[in-house]
Amino acid sequence: MSRAGRLATASVVFAVGIGLIVFLVAAFLRSSPPTVDFTAGHTAGQPVDMTLQTVGSIGFGAHPTWVSYLTLAPDGQWVHTTLWDLPANTRINVTIDQYDGGGPLRNQEMGLVQGTVGDDMTVDGKTTSLVNSNATTKSIPNGVAHTFTIPTLAPNVPSVATSNSASLCAVAPCTFSSPHKIVKFSFMTPGSGVYPWQCFLPCGLGFLYGNGGPMQSIGYMDGFLKVQS
């Protein structure tokens, strides 16, 4: 092959390589968990029921050991996501099936239930407005596992932990055959907009101060309410 030919071939290989890298980086940046739609068929003024679960390890995918939230879609399928389309100015009745162990809160203020309808929640059917995660009781045996917090809208709900034990569910979606707590509360969506929510308990085990990994990843411990009117 002539020198010009070799140069041309090398240039083409180089250009294809650069193109491939750009494509893969763009695909990575575009990748996002799916959004579960709770607006389809919604009648104005009617509440929306939303069921979530929190698990100590998702058990599959790119990060099987990470803690995570999951969402029960209206079709009855569990979806590994933290993104929801919700109708505006609507009461959202949330149920969290909580399968993770936990411990005392680092910031006791996060034990206060705030911004929900009635400023309270129920844990296994019992109404409470404050979780003292340093006290061990029958209903709160092991502090808090995660929080559900929407900083700009004020709701904060500490999810009571199950006892730490070898029988904790390790592969999601978990079922009631595993140790669990059921946390229920309601909040009102505001007008349309995109509102971030997250867990404020540093549960990213193995990351600096527990605040990396799943705590920084949409689909695990944070997400968005995409409120639509």
Interface with Cu ion (CB under 5 A): 146, 199, 201, 203, 221
Q: Which of 185, 176, 145 is nearest to 56 (CA)?
A: 145
Cα–Cα distance, 130 to 109 (Å, whole number) = 9
Closest alpha carbon to 169 in 181, 183, 157? 181
174 phi and psi angles, rounded to 5 deg: -85, 160
- The residue among 47 and 212 lying less far from Cu ion, judged by its C-beta, is 212
Beta carbon of residue 53, minimum distance to Cu ion (angstroms, whole number): 12
Cβ 223 to Cu ion, closest distance in Å?
12
| Cβ closest to Cu ion, residue 55 vs residue 227 | 55
CB within 8 Å of 176: residues ≥ 6 apart: 97
Please give the residue whose beta carbon sits closest to Cu ion in the complex.
199
Q: How far is the CB of 101 from Cu ion (least distance, A)?
A: 12
Closest approach of Cu ion to the CB of residue 87, in Å = 26
Under 8 Å CB-to-CB from 88, ≥6 apart: which residues? Answer: 189, 190, 191, 192, 227, 228, 229
Nearest-angstrom CA–CA distance, 47 and 222: 23
CB of 129 to Cu ion, least distance (A): 21
Q: How far is the CB of 196 from Cu ion (least distance, A)?
A: 15
Nearer to Cu ion, 92 or 222 (CB): 222
Amino acid at 44: A
Nearer Cβ to Cu ion (48/123): 123
Residue whose CB is less far from Cu ion, 86 or 110: 110
Residue (149 or 186) nearer to Cu ion, CB: 149
Q: How far from 184 is each of 25, 90, 96, 126, 127, CA to CA, in Å?
A: 40, 16, 6, 10, 9
CA atoms within 13 A on the CB side of 156: 17
